[in-house]
Amino acid sequence: MKIISITGSGRTGSTLISLLLSQGSDVFNLGQFRHLAAAYHKNPPCSCGQTLRDCAVYSQVFAEPGVAAYIQDEPGLDRRLRSFFKDAKKAKDW
């Protein structure tokens, strides 16, 4: 499985690009990456009927080394995101 992250600030077209790419039969849109750690810990049902951790697709995503490290550091991620957005608000071109 290859994971491609499409990132961008608000109103840059990243959502549109991800939706267009996910029209392919072999492409799956995971949604916003920043919500993935919380979803992992809550383990809600997937549309396939399994919980996210038991889902054939998400279980592979969660096993990826970069994603696994990200999931384990959810408090650190939240702290870094808050810091980023605080700094971004100060930037005149944000």
Give me the residue label for tokens 């951790």. 53
Task: Express each pLDDT in 19-53 by its tens digit.
Answer: 999 998 888 888 787 788 889 989 999 989 999 99
Instruction: Tell me how far apart the alpha carbons of residues 83 and 94 are, in angstroms, rounded to a whole number.
Output: 14
3-state secondary structure of 65: helix
- The pLDDT score that the predictor gives to residue 34 is 77
Residue recorded with tokens 């408090």 = 75
Neighbours of 21 (CB within 10 A): 13
Asked whether residue 94 carries a pLDDT value surpassing 70, the answer given is no
What is the residue-averaged pLDDT of the chain? Answer: 85
Is 17 a residue whose pLDDT tops 90? Answer: yes
Closest CA to 4 of 24, 26, 29: 29
pLDDT at 14 over 80: yes
In this prediction, residue 36 carries a pLDDT of: 85
Confidence (pLDDT) at 21: 92
What three-state secondary structure class fits 45? strand
pTM over 0.85: no
